[in-house]
Amino acid sequence: MCMDAGTAELIPTEKEREWKGPFYFIQGADPQFGLMKAWATGDCDNGGDEWEQEIRLAEQAVQAINKLNPKPKFFVLCGDLVHAMPGRPWRKEQTEDLQRVLRTVDSDIPLVLVSGNHDVGNVPTPETIAEFQRTWGDDYFSFWVGGVLFLVLNSQFLYDASRCPALKQEHDHWLDQQLRTAGQRACRHAVVFQHIPLFLQSIGEDDDYFNLTKSVRKEMADKFVEAGIKAVFSGHYHRNAGGTYRNLDMVVSSAIGCQLGTDTHGLRVVVVTAEKIIHRYYSLDELSEKGIEDDLMDLLKEN
């Protein structure tokens, strides 16, 4: 895997910039240790002092991924790793428990972590960003796998960067550089990962806690389309949703952890072929017991 981060040095792995054929990866979102108890008690700001259910669900997710054959190229978690906001009780304990679970991911499956609002705060500061970087790694970066360019964004900069304007400026400058690379069509596909969706169903929907504001989403979506981005994968909504805008696929995946709708705890399998990106959401039970369905596996055999 070849990575280029806003704060990390480029690791030259030129072979990953070359298309070698179809592959797949696993997307998850919102393990959010502590939310199930907080949601059940109706105290999302101060609750969350138990997270045994989330530990079991995260363990089930990792076990299901480790059993897959062939192995996915990587496993990406699209934010809200834990529920406790920066500076809140239980954050250290929730973090340590999630780190323990994630250490059991097969060493041959790289782990990609995306920052969410609960990871850096609804209104991030230089201090909360620095804490995330110390704990989990860079809050934005790019990497190449098999000729495909993947961009990991910090969507809190798009939500409210009023307390860290300089960091947002650096992020935006980096993103413009990455989109120029994508726009030169030097990659087979280009894909974005971020926590907050651009939109839940359509580009013109009303502003909501779970999407970006109309002005920001339209600006970002147009930038992505012009650069040839094929898909944006996100979480945050704790339900499956999504739509398209000018051939840009906005994919909103439900949570490994707490469900706020009727979906099941699950993961998304994403198959990348020469021409398209195909994805399907699986419950943890389905993926654990049956694995990936044959029609998706057949796509991996195409040249």
Residue 99 contacts by C-beta under 8 Å, 6 or more apart in sequence?
Answer: none
**Tens of pLDDT, residues 244-274:** 999 999 999 999 999 999 999 999 999 999 9
Average pLDDT over residues 146-154: 97
Indicate whether 9 pLDDT > 50: no
Q: pLDDT grade, residue 46 (50/70/90)?
A: confident
Percent of the chain with pLDDT over 70: 95
Domains defined for the chain, CATH in brackets = 23-300 (3.60.21.10)
Res 13: pLDDT:
65
**Tens of pLDDT, residues 189-245:** 999 999 999 999 999 999 999 999 999 999 999 999 999 999 999 999 999 999 999
Average pLDDT over residues 154-183: 97
Percent of the chain with pLDDT over 90: 92
Determine phi and psi for 4, rounding to 5 degrees: -135, 110
Q: How far is CA 191 from CA 108, 134, 219, 262, 272, in A?
A: 22, 26, 17, 27, 10
- B/e letters for 160-172, b = 16+ CB within 10 Å, e = fewer, are ebeebeebbeebe
Res 1: pLDDT:
55
How many residues would you count in the chain?
Answer: 303
Indicate whether 94 pLDDT > 70: yes
Q: pLDDT grade, residue 6 (50/70/90)?
A: very low
Rg (CA), the chain: 18
- The answer to whether 20 and 147 have CB atoms below 8 angstroms apart is yes
Q: Describe the crossing of helices 52-67 and 91-102 by its angle, rounded to 10 degrees.
A: 20
Which pTM was predicted? 0.96
- The answer to whether 140 and 153 have CB atoms below 8 angstroms apart is yes
Q: How far apart are CA 138 and CA 193, in angstroms?
A: 14
**Tens of pLDDT, residues 111-145:** 999 999 999 999 999 999 999 999 999 999 999 99
